[in-house]
Amino acid sequence: MRYEELDELLRESLQEERAEARALLEGMERSVTVELASRPSAKPAWRRWWGILRRPPLAMRSAVAAGIVLALVVGFLAGRMWGPGGLGLERTAGTMFAVAAPQADSVAVMGDFSAWEPVHLEDRVGDGVWTAVIELPPGRYEYAFLVDGRWVGQDPVADEYVRSFGEYASVRYVEGD
Amino acid sequence: MKILALSLALLALLLPATAQQSSERHLDEVLELVRGMPVEQSLRQATASALRDAVPAGRASSEVAYRYIGRARQLSADDAATALQILRAGLEGGLLVDRLMNEALKGWAMDLSWVEISGVLELRLEFLLAAQEGIGALQLDVEVCPQTLRLAILEVGWAASDHVLQQESPEDVAGMTSRVAERLVRLRGAAPCQGTVDAVLEALSPELVGQIAARALAQKER
């Protein structure tokens, strides 16, 4: 068969298929229109929302109630801590304590701010740098680190060092606003 | 499910807040510890009375006092009495005593004996009382903030005693004065009412520091 003859045959075939499909689609469009016309009209969006607000489902009512309680509790605690006549805590940014101790199993900082009780540092990203952020009101604080139980009194970022009982301790001054 | 999740979130928020509140010692807990000390009743009563005045006034914190007295209770009766006498003297002298108690707690954290700790505490106390006397007698030109003045007295006494404890000669009054002045300059940024600190700084002299050191060391010798 020659190329021109094959091309002609393909064109005819495609035209026949297109004509059949068009007839089918026209029939479908008409039946869908009739079907939709026979259904009752849907409610507008505002009416659907009004219905939900008038009679909310149980889960939504509980969620709203819990949200209100949460807001009240947070407001109450914040007010007690920082409000007038509260606990007298001053809001300051936290003070970072950090030690590079890649081989250590445990690192803690202790000082005037913790009545010399250890506060544990964490190596969050596993790079051997142990950190803790502690909220401190303005003042002067002596402190030292415990690296695997060993006293490390000289923090390179300290404001000064003091020596008593034969050991060094670091000092930070936390300034007010 | 949503209710459960919300309840858990609420609980998670409340628990740390309540934990933070309960971690703060109440004065009553401190007084209860004092009542249980194996010392003479008159010392217990005087210490409790001084604490009742000092804690609400911000001259001592109940948390530090609780830990100090808690550790002191584990000492022998005589040593526990010494620990309470030091605290009482500081409180009755109108000092800020947290740093004094923290010094003892630091010593305990180093596993030191009470003999070593009390020697340092007694020296610190004498310097603080001498600084109180020396600076209290000054006629400062500004209207002072009482709490900042107490902080300044604490720094003066503490820095001067640091000088002695770090094996520097008490005769080196110029060196001691320089150390004291340096501490006061640092205190300016960390204390309210900077004018009060400035006034103490202005009044500071080698003569004054020398008098404080001489008085403290003479008392310690007795």
Residues in chain A: 177
Q: Which of A59, A74, A165 sits opposite B110 (nearest CB)?
A: A165
**pTM for this structure?**
0.71
**Which of B112, B141, B164 is the C-terminal boundary of a domain?**
B112
What average pLDDT does range B78-95 have in this prediction? Answer: 97
Say yes or no: B207 contacts chain A, CB-CB below 8 A. no
What average pLDDT does range B118-145 have in this prediction? Answer: 92
Q: Which of B6, B17, B162 sits opposite A66 (nearest CB)?
A: B6
* Residue A138 forms part of a structural domain: yes
For residue A108, what pLDDT is reported?
98
Listing DSSP states for B118-153 in one string gives: HHHHHHHHHHHHHHHHHHHTS--SS---HHHHHHHH
Residues of A in contact with B17 (CB under 8 A): 77
For residue B6, what pLDDT is reported?
55
What average pLDDT does range A122-145 have in this prediction? Answer: 95
Q: What is the rounded distance in angstroms from the CA atom of residue A80 to the CA atom of residue A82?
A: 6
Q: Which of B13, B107, B190 sits opposite A165 (nearest CB)?
A: B107
What average pLDDT does range A58-79 have in this prediction? Answer: 58
Q: What share of chain A is helix, strand, coil (3-state, %, to 5)?
A: 40, 25, 35
* Residue B135 forms part of a structural domain: yes
The answer to whether the CB of A115 falls within 8 A of the CB of B63 is: yes
For residue A13, what pLDDT is reported?
75
Secondary structure element (H or E) that encloses residue A54, with its range: helix A45-54
Residues of A in contact with B162 (CB under 8 A): 162-164
DSSP state of A60: H
* Residue B89 forms part of a structural domain: yes
Say yes or no: A65 contacts chain B, CB-CB below 8 A. no
Q: Which residue, B79, B91, B152, B153, is CA-closest to B116? A: B79
A63/B6 touch (CB, cutoff 8 Å), yes or no: yes
Q: Which of A73, A116, A140 sits opposite B106 (nearest CB)?
A: A116
Question: At what angle are helices B62-72 and B77-92 packed, to 10 degrees?
Answer: 150
Say yes or no: B40 contacts chain A, CB-CB below 8 A. no
The domain tally of chain A equals 3
Residue A70 shares a structural domain with residue A112: no
Residue B59 shares a structural domain with residue B143: no
Domain membership of residue B186 as a residue range: 123-222
Rg (CA), chain A: 38
For residue B95, what pLDDT is reported?
96
Q: Does the pLDDT of residue B196 top 90, yes or no?
A: yes
Say yes or no: B219 contacts chain A, CB-CB below 8 A. no
Q: Does the pLDDT of residue B113 top 90, yes or no?
A: yes
Residue A73 shares a structural domain with residue A25: no
Distances (CA, A) of B30 to B18, B95, B159, B167, B187: 20, 18, 29, 36, 29
Q: Among B99, B110, B167, pick the best mutation site for testing chain A contact (most A Cβ within 10 A).
A: B110
Burial group, residue B49, by CB count within 10 angstroms (0-12, 13-18, 19+): middle
Q: Does the pLDDT of residue B218 top 80, yes or no?
A: yes
Q: What is the rounded distance in angstroms from the CA atom of residue A143 to the CA atom of residue A111?
A: 4
Q: Which of B3, B99, B112 sits opposite A112 (nearest CB)?
A: B99
Domain membership of residue A1 as a residue range: 1-41
Q: Which of A59, A66, A167 sits opposite B110 (nearest CB)?
A: A167
Q: Does the pLDDT of residue B4 top 60, yes or no?
A: no
Token pair of B47, please? 């210490």
* Residue B183 forms part of a structural domain: yes
Token pair of B54, please? 């000092």
For residue A17, what pLDDT is reported?
73
Residue B45 shares a structural domain with residue B130: no
* Residue A30 forms part of a structural domain: yes
∠ Cα B84 B86 B88 (to 5°)? 65
Q: Does the pLDDT of residue A160 top 80, yes or no?
A: yes
Q: Which residue, B201, B197, B179, is CA-closest to B188? A: B197
> What band does B47 get if pLDDT is binned at 50, 70 and 90?
very high
Q: Among B6, B26, B106, B108, pick the best mutation site for testing chain A contact (most A Cβ within 10 A).
A: B106
Return all residues near B69 (Cβ < 8 A) that are at least 6 apart. B30, B33, B34, B37, B83, B84, B87
A174 vs B9, higher pLDDT: A174
Say yes or no: B190 contacts chain A, CB-CB below 8 A. yes
Mean of pLDDT over chain A: 77
Say yes or no: A162 contacts chain B, CB-CB below 8 A. yes
Q: Which residue, B70, B85, B72, B74, is CA-closest to B40? A: B85
Token pair of B217, please? 């060391």
Q: What is the rounded distance in angstroms from the CA atom of residue B158 to the CA atom of residue B131?
A: 9
SS3 assignment, position B195: helix
Comparing A33-47, A113-127, B40-54, B199-213, the range with the smallest average pLDDT is: A33-47
The CATH number assigned to the domain holding A148 equals: 2.60.40.10
For residue A85, what pLDDT is reported?
32
* Residue A46 forms part of a structural domain: no
Q: What is the rounded distance in angstroms from the CA atom of residue A163 to the CA atom of residue B75?
A: 25
Q: Does the pLDDT of residue A45 top 60, yes or no?
A: yes
Q: Which of residues 143-182 of B touch A (CB under 8 A)?
A: 155, 162, 165-166
B9 vs A163, higher pLDDT: A163
The answer to whether the CB of B71 falls within 8 A of the CB of B104 is: yes
* Half-sphere CA count of B170, side-chain side, radius 13 A: 14
Q: What is the pLDDT of residues B155-177, one digit of tens each?
A: 999 999 999 998 889 899 999 99
Q: Which residue, B131, B150, B102, B105, is CA-closest to A141? A: B102
Say yes or no: B136 contacts chain A, CB-CB below 8 A. no
Q: What is the pLDDT of residues B128-137, one digit of tens each?
A: 999 999 998 8
Residue A106 shares a structural domain with residue A167: yes
Q: Does the pLDDT of residue B214 top 70, yes or no?
A: yes
